[in-house]
Homo-oligomer: A and B are copies of this chain.
Amino acid sequence: MDLNGVSLIAGVPSSGGKRTFTSIAAATGAILPPLYYCAEPEDVDRAAAKAAEVFPVFSRLPAMRRAELLRSVAVNLSRQAAAIVERANAETALSSARLHGELSRTCNQLLIFAHLLEEGSWVQARIDTADPMRKPTPKPDIRSLLRPIGPVVILGAGNFPLAFSLAGGDTASALAAGCPVIFKAHPAHPGTSELVAQILYQSITEVGLPPGIFSLLYDDSHSVARAAIQHPAIRGVAFTGSCEAGLAVAQLAADRLEPIPVFAQMAAPNPVFILPGALQHRSMQIVEAIAQSITLSVGQYCTKPSIVFLPEGPDAETLASGLARIIAAVPAAPMTSPTVAEQYRRHVSRRLSALGVGRLTGEWKDLPDAPSWVFPAVLRTDAEHFLHQYQLHDEIFGPATLLVTYRDDPQVVQLAESIGGQLAVGIFGTPEDFSRHIDLMGILEQRAGRLVFNGTPTRVELCNAMAHGGPFPATNVDRFSAVGSTAIYRFVRPVTFQDASQAQLPDELKDENPLGILRVLNGAITGAAVHSR
Protein backbone atom coordinates (compact mmCIF):
# COMPACT_ATOMS: atom_id res chain seq x y z
CA MET A 1 0.00 0.00 0.00
CA ASP A 2 1.52 3.29 -1.16
CA LEU A 3 1.09 6.58 0.63
CA ASN A 4 0.53 9.72 -1.47
CA GLY A 5 0.02 12.42 1.14
CA VAL A 6 -3.05 14.04 -0.40
CA SER A 7 -6.69 14.41 0.62
CA LEU A 8 -9.12 11.98 -0.98
CA ILE A 9 -12.33 13.61 -2.20
CA ALA A 10 -15.01 10.99 -2.88
CA GLY A 11 -12.11 8.61 -3.51
CA VAL A 12 -10.29 10.93 -5.93
CA PRO A 13 -6.84 12.20 -4.87
CA SER A 14 -6.76 15.97 -4.46
CA SER A 15 -4.22 17.77 -6.61
CA GLY A 16 -2.37 18.87 -3.48
CA GLY A 17 -2.23 22.28 -1.86
CA LYS A 18 -0.05 25.16 -0.81
CA ARG A 19 0.50 24.13 2.82
CA THR A 20 2.19 20.88 3.88
CA PHE A 21 3.07 19.09 7.08
CA THR A 22 4.99 15.99 8.00
CA SER A 23 4.23 12.91 10.00
CA ILE A 24 6.57 12.56 12.98
CA ALA A 25 7.62 9.28 14.59
CA ALA A 26 6.54 9.86 18.19
CA ALA A 27 9.26 7.64 19.66
CA THR A 28 12.23 9.17 17.84
CA GLY A 29 11.12 12.52 16.44
CA ALA A 30 12.13 11.34 12.96
CA ILE A 31 10.20 12.52 9.90
CA LEU A 32 8.13 9.79 8.27
CA PRO A 33 7.51 10.17 4.51
CA PRO A 34 5.51 11.19 2.53
CA LEU A 35 4.91 14.92 2.81
CA TYR A 36 1.22 15.65 3.60
CA TYR A 37 -0.63 18.36 1.67
CA CYS A 38 -3.31 20.29 3.54
CA ALA A 39 -6.71 20.35 1.86
CA GLU A 40 -7.69 23.54 0.04
CA PRO A 41 -11.07 25.32 0.34
CA GLU A 42 -12.05 23.79 -3.03
CA ASP A 43 -11.42 20.32 -1.59
CA VAL A 44 -13.83 21.03 1.26
CA ASP A 45 -16.46 22.35 -1.16
CA ARG A 46 -16.10 19.37 -3.44
CA ALA A 47 -16.28 16.87 -0.56
CA ALA A 48 -19.41 18.56 0.84
CA ALA A 49 -21.03 18.79 -2.61
CA LYS A 50 -20.37 15.09 -3.27
CA ALA A 51 -21.75 14.14 0.14
CA ALA A 52 -24.90 16.20 -0.43
CA GLU A 53 -25.29 14.74 -3.90
CA VAL A 54 -25.17 11.11 -2.78
CA PHE A 55 -27.14 11.58 0.46
CA PRO A 56 -30.67 11.13 -0.98
CA VAL A 57 -29.63 7.90 -2.71
CA PHE A 58 -27.40 6.54 0.07
CA SER A 59 -29.91 7.25 2.82
CA ARG A 60 -32.70 5.46 0.98
CA LEU A 61 -30.78 2.30 0.10
CA PRO A 62 -31.87 -0.79 2.03
CA ALA A 63 -30.00 -0.83 5.36
CA MET A 64 -28.51 -4.19 4.34
CA ARG A 65 -26.33 -2.43 1.78
CA ARG A 66 -24.80 -0.30 4.51
CA ALA A 67 -24.32 -3.40 6.68
CA GLU A 68 -22.52 -5.03 3.78
CA LEU A 69 -20.14 -2.08 3.58
CA LEU A 70 -19.32 -2.18 7.29
CA ARG A 71 -18.67 -5.93 7.20
CA SER A 72 -16.44 -5.51 4.17
CA VAL A 73 -14.39 -2.78 5.87
CA ALA A 74 -13.93 -5.01 8.94
CA VAL A 75 -12.70 -7.90 6.78
CA ASN A 76 -10.36 -5.72 4.74
CA LEU A 77 -8.99 -3.98 7.82
CA SER A 78 -8.17 -7.34 9.42
CA ARG A 79 -6.40 -8.46 6.24
CA GLN A 80 -4.17 -5.40 6.30
CA ALA A 81 -3.64 -5.43 10.06
CA ALA A 82 0.14 -5.84 9.85
CA ALA A 83 0.67 -2.83 7.56
CA ILE A 84 -1.73 -0.61 9.51
CA VAL A 85 -0.28 -1.48 12.91
CA GLU A 86 3.26 -0.97 11.61
CA ARG A 87 2.50 2.56 10.40
CA ALA A 88 0.39 3.44 13.45
CA ASN A 89 3.15 2.22 15.73
CA ALA A 90 5.72 4.35 13.90
CA GLU A 91 3.51 7.44 14.01
CA THR A 92 2.08 7.22 17.54
CA ALA A 93 4.56 5.03 19.47
CA LEU A 94 1.60 3.11 20.87
CA SER A 95 2.65 -0.53 21.28
CA SER A 96 1.93 -3.09 18.59
CA ALA A 97 -0.06 -5.13 21.10
CA ARG A 98 -2.23 -2.15 21.97
CA LEU A 99 -2.67 -1.28 18.29
CA HIS A 100 -3.62 -4.84 17.34
CA GLY A 101 -6.17 -4.68 20.16
CA GLU A 102 -7.42 -1.33 18.90
CA LEU A 103 -7.71 -2.64 15.35
CA SER A 104 -9.73 -5.57 16.55
CA ARG A 105 -11.93 -3.18 18.53
CA THR A 106 -12.38 -1.08 15.38
CA CYS A 107 -13.50 -4.17 13.45
CA ASN A 108 -15.87 -5.12 16.28
CA GLN A 109 -17.38 -1.63 16.17
CA LEU A 110 -18.03 -1.99 12.45
CA LEU A 111 -19.61 -5.40 13.05
CA ILE A 112 -21.82 -4.16 15.90
CA PHE A 113 -23.37 -1.56 13.59
CA ALA A 114 -23.65 -4.08 10.74
CA HIS A 115 -25.54 -6.37 13.11
CA LEU A 116 -27.76 -3.50 14.26
CA LEU A 117 -28.68 -2.73 10.64
CA GLU A 118 -29.31 -6.38 9.81
CA GLU A 119 -31.60 -6.80 12.82
CA GLY A 120 -33.29 -3.50 11.88
CA SER A 121 -35.34 -2.62 14.99
CA TRP A 122 -32.95 0.20 15.95
CA VAL A 123 -34.94 2.67 13.79
CA GLN A 124 -37.62 2.77 16.53
CA ALA A 125 -40.52 2.36 14.13
CA ARG A 126 -43.75 3.51 15.77
CA ILE A 127 -47.20 3.03 14.28
CA ASP A 128 -50.48 4.40 15.58
CA THR A 129 -53.26 3.24 13.30
CA ALA A 130 -56.17 5.39 12.17
CA ASP A 131 -59.68 5.47 13.60
CA PRO A 132 -61.96 7.22 11.11
CA MET A 133 -64.90 6.83 13.51
CA ARG A 134 -63.33 8.69 16.44
CA LYS A 135 -65.28 11.70 17.77
CA PRO A 136 -65.02 14.66 17.64
CA THR A 137 -62.29 14.29 14.98
CA PRO A 138 -61.22 11.17 13.07
CA LYS A 139 -57.90 9.73 14.23
CA PRO A 140 -55.25 9.87 11.48
CA ASP A 141 -52.70 7.15 10.74
CA ILE A 142 -49.38 8.23 12.28
CA ARG A 143 -46.09 6.37 11.75
CA SER A 144 -42.54 7.41 12.57
CA LEU A 145 -38.99 6.16 12.33
CA LEU A 146 -35.47 7.49 12.71
CA ARG A 147 -33.87 8.85 9.55
CA PRO A 148 -30.29 10.08 8.93
CA ILE A 149 -29.63 13.80 9.41
CA GLY A 150 -27.42 14.28 6.32
CA PRO A 151 -23.70 14.68 5.58
CA VAL A 152 -21.56 14.93 8.73
CA VAL A 153 -18.04 16.07 9.58
CA ILE A 154 -15.95 13.84 11.85
CA LEU A 155 -12.76 15.10 13.46
CA GLY A 156 -10.32 12.29 14.23
CA ALA A 157 -8.87 11.85 17.73
CA GLY A 158 -5.16 11.87 18.50
CA ASN A 159 -5.13 9.14 21.13
CA PHE A 160 -6.95 6.43 19.14
CA PRO A 161 -5.44 6.29 15.63
CA LEU A 162 -7.89 3.54 14.69
CA ALA A 163 -10.92 3.16 17.00
CA PHE A 164 -11.72 6.91 17.17
CA SER A 165 -10.23 7.79 13.82
CA LEU A 166 -10.91 7.19 10.13
CA ALA A 167 -12.96 3.98 10.24
CA GLY A 168 -13.61 4.24 13.97
CA GLY A 169 -16.83 4.34 15.93
CA ASP A 170 -17.91 7.80 14.74
CA THR A 171 -17.49 6.97 11.05
CA ALA A 172 -19.00 3.52 11.49
CA SER A 173 -22.08 4.83 13.28
CA ALA A 174 -22.58 7.74 10.86
CA LEU A 175 -22.31 5.51 7.78
CA ALA A 176 -24.57 2.95 9.50
CA ALA A 177 -27.17 5.68 10.04
CA GLY A 178 -26.99 6.62 6.34
CA CYS A 179 -24.97 9.83 6.71
CA PRO A 180 -22.10 10.53 4.27
CA VAL A 181 -18.88 11.34 6.17
CA ILE A 182 -16.25 14.02 5.67
CA PHE A 183 -13.35 12.95 7.83
CA LYS A 184 -10.62 15.33 8.96
CA ALA A 185 -7.58 13.25 9.93
CA HIS A 186 -5.62 14.03 13.08
CA PRO A 187 -2.18 15.37 12.04
CA ALA A 188 -0.41 13.03 14.48
CA HIS A 189 -1.13 9.94 12.33
CA PRO A 190 -1.84 10.96 8.72
CA GLY A 191 -0.27 7.83 7.23
CA THR A 192 -2.41 5.50 9.35
CA SER A 193 -5.47 7.45 8.20
CA GLU A 194 -4.43 7.18 4.57
CA LEU A 195 -3.99 3.40 4.81
CA VAL A 196 -7.39 2.97 6.44
CA ALA A 197 -9.00 5.29 3.86
CA GLN A 198 -7.63 3.12 1.05
CA ILE A 199 -9.26 0.12 2.69
CA LEU A 200 -12.54 1.97 3.15
CA TYR A 201 -12.61 2.94 -0.54
CA GLN A 202 -11.72 -0.61 -1.52
CA SER A 203 -14.80 -1.78 0.39
CA ILE A 204 -16.99 0.98 -1.07
CA THR A 205 -15.99 -0.24 -4.53
CA GLU A 206 -16.45 -3.91 -3.68
CA VAL A 207 -19.92 -3.29 -2.31
CA GLY A 208 -20.83 -0.93 -5.15
CA LEU A 209 -21.69 2.19 -3.15
CA PRO A 210 -21.04 5.75 -4.39
CA PRO A 211 -17.56 6.98 -3.32
CA GLY A 212 -19.13 10.37 -2.43
CA ILE A 213 -20.22 8.88 0.90
CA PHE A 214 -16.67 9.44 2.20
CA SER A 215 -13.92 12.04 1.88
CA LEU A 216 -10.64 12.34 3.77
CA LEU A 217 -9.18 15.79 4.42
CA TYR A 218 -5.70 16.62 5.73
CA ASP A 219 -4.73 19.71 7.68
CA ASP A 220 -2.44 20.51 10.59
CA SER A 221 -4.26 23.79 11.37
CA HIS A 222 -7.91 24.53 12.16
CA SER A 223 -8.89 26.08 8.85
CA VAL A 224 -10.06 22.96 7.00
CA ALA A 225 -12.16 21.76 9.95
CA ARG A 226 -13.64 25.26 10.27
CA ALA A 227 -14.58 25.43 6.60
CA ALA A 228 -16.10 21.95 6.70
CA ILE A 229 -18.18 22.67 9.82
CA GLN A 230 -19.41 25.93 8.31
CA HIS A 231 -20.34 24.38 4.96
CA PRO A 232 -24.12 24.67 4.39
CA ALA A 233 -24.41 21.04 3.23
CA ILE A 234 -23.14 19.69 6.56
CA ARG A 235 -25.80 18.60 9.09
CA GLY A 236 -23.75 17.46 12.10
CA VAL A 237 -20.29 17.08 13.65
CA ALA A 238 -18.62 14.48 15.85
CA PHE A 239 -15.49 15.36 17.75
CA THR A 240 -13.20 13.75 20.34
CA GLY A 241 -10.56 15.86 22.07
CA SER A 242 -9.97 18.69 24.47
CA CYS A 243 -12.66 20.79 26.09
CA GLU A 244 -11.26 23.96 24.56
CA ALA A 245 -11.33 22.53 21.03
CA GLY A 246 -14.73 20.92 21.58
CA LEU A 247 -16.27 24.20 22.67
CA ALA A 248 -14.72 26.00 19.70
CA VAL A 249 -16.28 23.43 17.36
CA ALA A 250 -19.67 23.76 19.10
CA GLN A 251 -19.49 27.56 18.77
CA LEU A 252 -18.72 27.34 15.05
CA ALA A 253 -21.71 25.06 14.56
CA ALA A 254 -24.00 27.29 16.65
CA ASP A 255 -22.94 30.41 14.72
CA ARG A 256 -24.04 29.00 11.36
CA LEU A 257 -27.08 30.46 9.61
CA GLU A 258 -28.64 27.06 10.27
CA PRO A 259 -27.05 25.74 13.48
CA ILE A 260 -26.19 22.03 13.46
CA PRO A 261 -25.65 19.54 16.28
CA VAL A 262 -22.13 18.83 17.57
CA PHE A 263 -21.36 15.70 19.56
CA ALA A 264 -18.14 16.52 21.36
CA GLN A 265 -16.56 14.06 23.71
CA MET A 266 -14.27 16.27 25.75
CA ALA A 267 -12.05 16.14 28.82
CA ALA A 268 -12.83 14.48 32.14
CA PRO A 269 -10.66 13.61 35.15
CA ASN A 270 -12.86 10.54 35.84
CA PRO A 271 -12.18 10.49 39.58
CA VAL A 272 -11.96 7.33 41.65
CA PHE A 273 -13.58 7.40 45.09
CA ILE A 274 -12.17 5.01 47.67
CA LEU A 275 -14.51 4.49 50.61
CA PRO A 276 -13.17 3.57 54.09
CA GLY A 277 -14.16 -0.11 54.20
CA ALA A 278 -12.66 -0.82 50.80
CA LEU A 279 -9.45 1.00 51.71
CA GLN A 280 -9.17 -1.08 54.85
CA HIS A 281 -9.86 -4.45 53.25
CA ARG A 282 -8.77 -4.20 49.62
CA SER A 283 -5.93 -1.73 49.57
CA MET A 284 -3.51 -3.91 47.56
CA GLN A 285 -6.06 -4.71 44.88
CA ILE A 286 -6.99 -1.03 44.56
CA VAL A 287 -3.34 0.06 44.25
CA GLU A 288 -2.78 -2.38 41.41
CA ALA A 289 -5.96 -1.36 39.59
CA ILE A 290 -5.09 2.33 39.84
CA ALA A 291 -1.46 1.86 38.84
CA GLN A 292 -2.52 -0.03 35.73
CA SER A 293 -5.26 2.47 34.95
CA ILE A 294 -2.78 5.37 35.08
CA THR A 295 -0.02 3.84 32.99
CA LEU A 296 -2.00 1.92 30.37
CA SER A 297 -1.01 3.31 26.95
CA VAL A 298 0.99 6.03 28.74
CA GLY A 299 -2.16 7.43 30.37
CA GLN A 300 -3.68 8.41 27.04
CA TYR A 301 -7.24 7.28 27.64
CA CYS A 302 -10.16 9.69 27.93
CA THR A 303 -11.24 7.60 30.92
CA LYS A 304 -7.94 7.61 32.79
CA PRO A 305 -8.52 8.69 36.42
CA SER A 306 -6.73 12.01 37.05
CA ILE A 307 -7.97 12.21 40.65
CA VAL A 308 -8.24 9.60 43.42
CA PHE A 309 -10.16 10.47 46.60
CA LEU A 310 -9.35 8.42 49.71
CA PRO A 311 -9.99 8.72 53.44
CA GLU A 312 -7.01 10.06 55.41
CA GLY A 313 -5.23 7.89 57.96
CA PRO A 314 -2.61 5.12 58.10
CA ASP A 315 -4.33 3.06 55.36
CA ALA A 316 -4.17 6.06 53.04
CA GLU A 317 -0.43 6.40 53.75
CA THR A 318 0.10 2.74 52.92
CA LEU A 319 -1.86 3.04 49.67
CA ALA A 320 -0.08 6.25 48.68
CA SER A 321 3.40 4.89 49.27
CA GLY A 322 2.52 1.58 47.60
CA LEU A 323 1.21 3.37 44.51
CA ALA A 324 4.20 5.72 44.43
CA ARG A 325 6.55 2.76 44.60
CA ILE A 326 4.93 1.00 41.64
CA ILE A 327 4.71 4.16 39.54
CA ALA A 328 8.27 5.26 40.33
CA ALA A 329 9.49 1.96 38.88
CA VAL A 330 7.69 2.51 35.56
CA PRO A 331 10.17 3.64 32.89
CA ALA A 332 9.69 6.71 30.72
CA ALA A 333 7.64 6.12 27.57
CA PRO A 334 6.70 8.13 24.47
CA MET A 335 3.26 9.75 24.17
CA THR A 336 1.59 9.95 20.76
CA SER A 337 3.07 13.36 19.89
CA PRO A 338 5.43 16.02 21.25
CA THR A 339 2.37 18.29 21.65
CA VAL A 340 0.53 16.06 24.10
CA ALA A 341 3.76 15.27 25.96
CA GLU A 342 4.50 18.96 26.36
CA GLN A 343 0.92 19.56 27.56
CA TYR A 344 1.25 16.67 30.03
CA ARG A 345 4.37 18.16 31.55
CA ARG A 346 2.69 21.54 31.79
CA HIS A 347 -0.36 20.03 33.49
CA VAL A 348 1.77 18.26 36.10
CA SER A 349 3.85 21.41 36.76
CA ARG A 350 0.72 23.48 37.09
CA ARG A 351 -0.55 21.18 39.82
CA LEU A 352 2.81 21.19 41.60
CA SER A 353 2.72 24.99 41.68
CA ALA A 354 -0.66 24.93 43.48
CA LEU A 355 -0.78 25.27 47.27
CA GLY A 356 -0.47 22.09 49.29
CA VAL A 357 0.32 19.74 46.38
CA GLY A 358 3.32 17.43 46.58
CA ARG A 359 4.86 14.78 44.35
CA LEU A 360 5.19 11.21 45.65
CA THR A 361 7.31 9.97 42.77
CA GLY A 362 10.82 11.23 42.02
CA GLU A 363 12.00 14.11 39.86
CA TRP A 364 12.00 13.60 36.10
CA LYS A 365 15.49 13.06 34.75
CA ASP A 366 17.32 11.01 32.12
CA LEU A 367 14.51 11.49 29.56
CA PRO A 368 15.49 10.45 26.04
CA ASP A 369 16.15 13.29 23.62
CA ALA A 370 12.88 12.79 21.69
CA PRO A 371 10.35 15.29 23.01
CA SER A 372 7.43 12.83 23.26
CA TRP A 373 8.89 10.91 26.18
CA VAL A 374 7.43 11.31 29.65
CA PHE A 375 7.62 9.79 33.12
CA PRO A 376 4.50 8.87 35.06
CA ALA A 377 3.78 10.71 38.32
CA VAL A 378 1.76 10.46 41.51
CA LEU A 379 0.83 13.78 43.14
CA ARG A 380 -0.88 14.37 46.42
CA THR A 381 -2.96 16.92 48.29
CA ASP A 382 -5.85 17.06 50.75
CA ALA A 383 -9.53 17.93 50.44
CA GLU A 384 -9.18 21.52 51.70
CA HIS A 385 -6.54 22.40 49.14
CA PHE A 386 -8.46 20.57 46.41
CA LEU A 387 -11.76 22.32 47.16
CA HIS A 388 -10.19 25.77 47.04
CA GLN A 389 -8.08 25.40 43.92
CA TYR A 390 -10.14 24.81 40.82
CA GLN A 391 -7.08 24.10 38.66
CA LEU A 392 -6.76 20.77 40.51
CA HIS A 393 -10.16 19.61 39.21
CA ASP A 394 -9.16 19.23 35.56
CA GLU A 395 -8.02 16.22 33.60
CA ILE A 396 -4.29 15.45 33.36
CA PHE A 397 -3.97 13.79 29.96
CA GLY A 398 -1.06 11.40 30.44
CA PRO A 399 0.27 8.98 33.07
CA ALA A 400 -0.33 10.96 36.28
CA THR A 401 -2.90 11.14 39.01
CA LEU A 402 -3.56 13.30 42.05
CA LEU A 403 -4.36 11.60 45.37
CA VAL A 404 -6.73 13.67 47.52
CA THR A 405 -7.30 12.65 51.13
CA TYR A 406 -10.58 13.47 52.83
CA ARG A 407 -11.42 13.69 56.51
CA ASP A 408 -14.87 12.16 56.88
CA ASP A 409 -18.20 11.31 55.26
CA PRO A 410 -19.49 14.90 54.91
CA GLN A 411 -16.22 15.91 53.26
CA VAL A 412 -16.33 13.18 50.62
CA VAL A 413 -19.87 14.34 49.77
CA GLN A 414 -18.54 17.88 49.48
CA LEU A 415 -15.80 16.66 47.14
CA ALA A 416 -18.34 14.83 44.98
CA GLU A 417 -20.44 17.98 44.78
CA SER A 418 -17.40 20.00 43.71
CA ILE A 419 -16.53 17.99 40.63
CA GLY A 420 -17.91 18.68 37.15
CA GLY A 421 -19.50 16.26 34.68
CA GLN A 422 -17.55 13.03 34.11
CA LEU A 423 -17.42 10.33 31.47
CA ALA A 424 -17.05 7.81 34.28
CA VAL A 425 -16.43 7.60 37.99
CA GLY A 426 -14.96 4.63 39.87
CA ILE A 427 -16.10 3.81 43.41
CA PHE A 428 -14.31 1.28 45.58
CA GLY A 429 -16.55 0.24 48.48
CA THR A 430 -17.78 -2.64 50.57
CA PRO A 431 -21.53 -3.31 50.81
CA GLU A 432 -21.41 -1.44 54.15
CA ASP A 433 -19.66 1.52 52.51
CA PHE A 434 -22.35 1.72 49.85
CA SER A 435 -25.26 1.53 52.26
CA ARG A 436 -23.67 4.30 54.33
CA HIS A 437 -23.10 6.52 51.28
CA ILE A 438 -26.47 6.66 49.53
CA ASP A 439 -26.21 10.47 49.28
CA LEU A 440 -22.78 10.23 47.68
CA MET A 441 -24.02 7.71 45.13
CA GLY A 442 -26.94 9.99 44.25
CA ILE A 443 -24.57 12.88 43.62
CA LEU A 444 -22.18 10.77 41.56
CA GLU A 445 -25.05 9.52 39.41
CA GLN A 446 -25.84 13.15 38.58
CA ARG A 447 -22.20 13.83 37.70
CA ALA A 448 -21.28 10.88 35.48
CA GLY A 449 -22.24 8.92 32.40
CA ARG A 450 -20.99 5.68 33.97
CA LEU A 451 -20.50 4.48 37.52
CA VAL A 452 -17.90 1.74 37.90
CA PHE A 453 -18.23 -0.32 41.05
CA ASN A 454 -14.97 -1.58 42.54
CA GLY A 455 -13.05 -0.86 39.39
CA THR A 456 -11.38 1.98 37.51
CA PRO A 457 -13.09 3.84 34.65
CA THR A 458 -10.40 3.09 32.08
CA ARG A 459 -11.76 0.27 29.91
CA VAL A 460 -14.86 1.19 27.90
CA GLU A 461 -16.66 -2.01 26.97
CA LEU A 462 -18.15 -2.19 23.48
CA CYS A 463 -21.79 -3.19 24.00
CA ASN A 464 -25.43 -2.10 23.91
CA ALA A 465 -25.60 -0.87 27.50
CA MET A 466 -22.54 1.41 27.32
CA ALA A 467 -23.21 5.12 27.79
CA HIS A 468 -19.86 6.70 27.01
CA GLY A 469 -20.89 10.30 27.59
CA GLY A 470 -21.82 12.39 30.59
CA PRO A 471 -22.72 15.89 31.76
CA PHE A 472 -20.70 18.95 30.73
CA PRO A 473 -17.71 19.27 30.45
CA ALA A 474 -17.27 15.53 29.79
CA THR A 475 -19.38 16.14 26.68
CA ASN A 476 -21.35 19.10 25.31
CA VAL A 477 -24.57 17.04 25.00
CA ASP A 478 -25.21 14.70 27.92
CA ARG A 479 -27.51 12.22 26.23
CA PHE A 480 -25.54 10.45 23.56
CA SER A 481 -22.92 7.74 23.75
CA ALA A 482 -19.77 7.78 21.62
CA VAL A 483 -19.19 4.07 22.20
CA GLY A 484 -21.42 1.03 21.65
CA SER A 485 -24.47 0.47 19.48
CA THR A 486 -26.39 3.50 20.78
CA ALA A 487 -23.75 5.81 19.23
CA ILE A 488 -25.80 5.59 16.02
CA TYR A 489 -28.53 7.73 17.61
CA ARG A 490 -26.34 10.82 17.25
CA PHE A 491 -26.85 10.78 13.51
CA VAL A 492 -30.60 10.35 13.16
CA ARG A 493 -33.81 12.24 13.91
CA PRO A 494 -37.43 11.11 13.91
CA VAL A 495 -39.64 11.68 10.87
CA THR A 496 -43.41 11.17 11.05
CA PHE A 497 -45.57 10.06 8.14
CA GLN A 498 -49.24 10.99 8.53
CA ASP A 499 -51.91 9.24 6.45
CA ALA A 500 -49.31 8.03 3.94
CA SER A 501 -50.27 5.28 1.52
CA GLN A 502 -48.27 2.04 1.64
CA ALA A 503 -46.34 3.13 -1.46
CA GLN A 504 -45.21 6.33 0.28
CA LEU A 505 -43.95 4.59 3.41
CA PRO A 506 -40.40 3.32 3.97
CA ASP A 507 -40.24 -0.48 4.34
CA GLU A 508 -39.82 -0.16 8.13
CA LEU A 509 -43.32 1.33 8.40
CA LYS A 510 -45.26 -0.73 5.85
CA ASP A 511 -48.25 -2.71 7.11
CA GLU A 512 -46.84 -6.17 6.39
CA ASN A 513 -43.55 -5.41 8.20
CA PRO A 514 -41.45 -6.74 5.32
CA LEU A 515 -38.20 -6.38 7.31
CA GLY A 516 -39.61 -8.31 10.29
CA ILE A 517 -38.45 -5.70 12.79
CA LEU A 518 -39.85 -4.97 16.23
CA ARG A 519 -42.11 -1.91 16.20
CA VAL A 520 -44.28 -0.02 18.68
CA LEU A 521 -47.73 -0.76 17.27
CA ASN A 522 -50.50 1.15 19.04
CA GLY A 523 -48.32 1.25 22.15
CA ALA A 524 -47.15 -2.37 22.25
CA ILE A 525 -43.77 -3.69 21.06
CA THR A 526 -44.35 -6.34 18.41
CA GLY A 527 -42.98 -7.85 15.23
CA ALA A 528 -46.51 -8.34 13.91
CA ALA A 529 -47.96 -6.90 10.70
CA VAL A 530 -50.60 -4.19 10.82
CA HIS A 531 -54.02 -5.59 10.02
CA SER A 532 -56.48 -3.18 8.53
CA ARG A 533 -59.60 -2.80 10.61
Contact = CB atoms under 8 A, between A and B. Distances in A.
Contact of A445 (B136, B420, B463, B495): B495
Interface stretch (A217-225, A309-317, A336-344, A473-481): A473-481
Contact of A142 (B431, B465, B473, B479): B465
Most chain B Cβ neighbours within 10 Å, of A449, A477, A478, A497: A478
Interface in A127-156: 127-128, 136-137, 139-140, 142-144, 147, 149-150
Nearest to A444: B495
Nearest to A478: B493
Given A469-B494, A494-B467, A259 B503 contact: no
Interface in A237-292: 254, 258-261
A472 B469 CA distance: 24
A184 interface: no
A296 to B, nearest CB: 11
Interface in A480-518: 481, 486, 492-501, 503-504, 518
Interface range for A: 35 or more
Interface stretch (A36-44, A346-354, A450-458): A450-458
Given A258-B421, A486-B494, A466 B142 contact: yes
A126 interface: yes
A464 interface: yes
Given A261-B478, A472-B258, A500-B451, A520 B445 contact: no
A420 B232 CA distance: 12
Given A445-B147, A445-B495, A453-B500, A128 B463 contact: yes
Given A442-B60, A478-B149, A452 B136 contact: no
A373 to B, nearest CB: 27
A260 B121 CA distance: 31
A439 interface: yes
A290 to B, nearest CB: 16
B261 A503 contact: no
B464 A520 contact: yes
A424 B127 CA distance: 18
Contact of A461 (B140, B449, B454, B492): B140
Contact of A449 (B254, B448, B494, B501): B494
Contacts of A465: 126-128, 142-144, 496, 520
A427 to B, nearest CB: 9
Q: How many copies does the complex hold?
A: 2
A144 B446 CA distance: 14
A448 to B, nearest CB: 7
A410 interface: no
Interface string A320-358: 000000000000000000000000000000000000000
A325 B1 CA distance: 73
Contacts of A421: 258
A101 interface: yes
A144 B496 contact: no
A532 interface: no
Nearest to A455: B499
A21 interface: no
B450 A496 contact: yes
A56 interface: yes
Contacts of A454: 499
A169 to B, nearest CB: 16
Contact of A498 (B455, B495, B520): B455
A428 to B, nearest CB: 11
Contact of A136 (B101, B143, B481): B101
A449 B261 contact: no
A158 to B, nearest CB: 24
A441 interface: yes
A3 interface: no
A439 B476 contact: no
Contacts of A448: 495
A105 to B, nearest CB: 11
A13 to B, nearest CB: 30
Given A451-B498, A451-B500, A525 B121 contact: yes
Given A259-B472, A431-B503, A459-B137, A464 B497 contact: no
Given A121-B525, A461-B140, A494-B479, A441 B504 contact: yes
Interface of A: 56, 60, 101, 115, 121, 126-128, 136-137, 139-140, 142-144, 147, 149-150, 254, 258-261, 420-421, 424, 431, 434-435, 439, 441-443, 445-446, 448-455, 459, 461, 463-467, 469, 471-473, 476-479, 481, 486, 492-501, 503-504, 518, 520, 522-523, 525
Given A142-B465, A445-B495, 7 more contacts: A56-B439, A128-B464, A142-B466, A143-B465, A450-B496, A452-B499, A454-B499
5 contacts: A140-B455, A261-B477, A445-B495, A465-B520, A467-B494
Q: Which 5 A-B pairs have the closest CB atoms?
A: A126-B465, A467-B494, A450-B496, A128-B463, A479-B493
